[in-house]
Chains A and B, each alone.
Chain A
């Protein structure tokens, strides 16, 4: 079945980087963009950016410019979210979700979430 499976929880120190993976299965990876959304404790959902896995093109929220990259491994159908210069405010659950390329049907499949804790 269609699913996005994310990597496990991470604990990082301030200033470090984290790389979260999102493995797609059950559909053609290049036919959907991958979006990243995070949720800090008690906060609303926050959109971070998106990537077209087929072309490598994407767009990032200006809030994360310079700290966020969204690489991918098309041969393995995996998208990544890499966030650097971590601070305590980056403690959150990070989700990946897919959006169809040719027509907008919403963020219709989500990963299970990856908890990232930033603490000294």
Chain B
């Protein structure tokens, strides 16, 4: 199975400031079609996960443009340009390249 790791696991943030989360995979997630098979999900407190970014850098419908995804074959980053109070929760990266899909351990983002 592909192992996903994230850092940091906890990230206190200040509203209006940028934030960044890293995700690493045990195998390259770059497929032959040129797409990077990594997604980012946010699970707000008491809610189901919600899709933020798919295939490495594509924002899902309705996701604010302050969220962006980037990365190479095994190293990926989610950036929030200016954190808003509603961005608190746990962020997960996930690889859908091969089954079983696997998730990172999550990064808990809360306000300082």
Q: Which residues of A contact B (CB under 8 A)?
A: 35, 37, 44-47, 50, 59, 61-63, 95, 97, 99, 104-108, 110-113
Q: A106-B51, A111-B48 known; A46 and B39 CB under 8 Å? A: no
Contacts of A63 in B (CB 8 A): 100
Q: How many A-B residue pairs have CB under 8 A?
A: 61
User: Which 9 pairs show the lowest CB-CB distances between chains A and B?
Assistant: A106-B54, A47-B101, A61-B100, A110-B48, A45-B103, A106-B51, A106-B39, A44-B105, A108-B51
* A44-B104, A105-B60 known; A61+B50 contact, CB < 8 A: no
Q: Which residues of B contact A (CB under 8 A)?
A: 35, 37, 39, 41, 43, 48-51, 53-55, 58, 60-61, 92, 94, 96, 99-106
From the candidates A62, A95, A104, A105, name the one contacting B49 in the complex (CB within 8 A): A95
Q: With the chains together, A4 CA to B106 CA distance in Å?
A: 24
Q: Is the CB of A45 within 8 A of B51?
A: no
Report the Cα distance A45→B101, complex, angstroms: 10
Q: Within 8 Å CB of B51, what residues of A?
A: 106-108
The answer on a CB contact under 8 Å between B100 and A62 is yes
Query: Given the complex, which residues of B lie within 8 Å of A105, measured CB to CB?
Result: 54, 58, 60
